Amino acid sequence: MTELVTGPDFRGFVRGYQHTAFRLEVRDRYNEPGEAEPLQRFLAGESIGDWYEDWEELQRRWAAEGKRMTRVRVVSEPHTDYIRFGLLLAGLSAAAGEDIRYLPRDQAKDLDLPDYDFWLIDSTRVGILRFSDDDALLGAEIHDDPMLVVRHCYYRDVAWHHAIPYAEFAGS
């Protein structure tokens, strides 16, 4: 296994894109320590407060610079609590400039997509995300091998073609 990139180096990998950043998310739950309190507030029917504003501001800045961030979330139905929370965040991210789409898991299973999350940065580098058994991000294996990159470009294109835009999915 390739060495995992973590912490500031991982954030730099994702945030350092020049043109395009794409993420495929295939998990129904993520165990991010920084999300625990906002998630609990959401589940209690309370406001998540200003916790997400820094990420929204980054997205607005990137969009103003002409950078494009896109994401496809493969989701189970009925939705988990975490996916419902993610839909709230997707609305905030979409308003800030990110294009998020949803792909029901029963449709995705026939598309030969990977069973892992990844970031595709500028169509030149892939970060394959690794998680612990309790859904916590361990880090990413970063690859720039052209064959691996092209395969992930294909995965991106297939997922994007079949996915439903956030506004349409959230309205259903």
Main-chain phi, psi angles of 153, to 5 degrees = -65, -40
Containing 148, the helix (H) or strand (E) segment is helix 146-162
Taking a C-beta distance cutoff of 8 angstroms, is the pair 68, 20 a contact?
yes
Does residue 1 have a pLDDT over 70? no
Q: Which of 171, 159, 166 has the alpha carbon at shortest distance from 23?
A: 159
The predicted pLDDT at position 171 comes to: 86
At 2, the pLDDT band (50, 70, 90 cuts) reads: confident
- Amino acid (one-letter) located at 22: F
pLDDT per residue over 79-136, tens digit each?
Answer: 999 999 999 999 999 999 999 999 999 999 999 999 999 999 999 999 999 999 999 9
Looking at the DSSP bridge assignments, the partners of residue 129 are 140
Specify the pTM: 0.95
Query: Which residue ranges make up each domain of the chain?
Result: 4-171
Taking a C-beta distance cutoff of 8 angstroms, is the pair 81, 43 a contact?
yes
pLDDT per residue over 137-153, tens digit each?
Answer: 999 999 999 999 999 99
pLDDT per residue over 156-172, tens digit each?
Answer: 999 999 999 999 999 86
Cα–Cα distance measured from residue 113 to residue 73, given in angstroms and rounded to the nearest whole number: 12
Q: Which fold has domain 4-171?
A: Endonuclease; Chain A (3.30.870)
Q: Is 55 strand, coil or helix? A: helix
**Helix (H) and strand (E) counts in the chain:** 7, 8
Q: Which of 167, 161, 171 has the alpha carbon at shortest distance from 22?
A: 161
Cα–Cα distance measured from residue 67 to residue 59, given in angstroms and rounded to the nearest whole number: 9
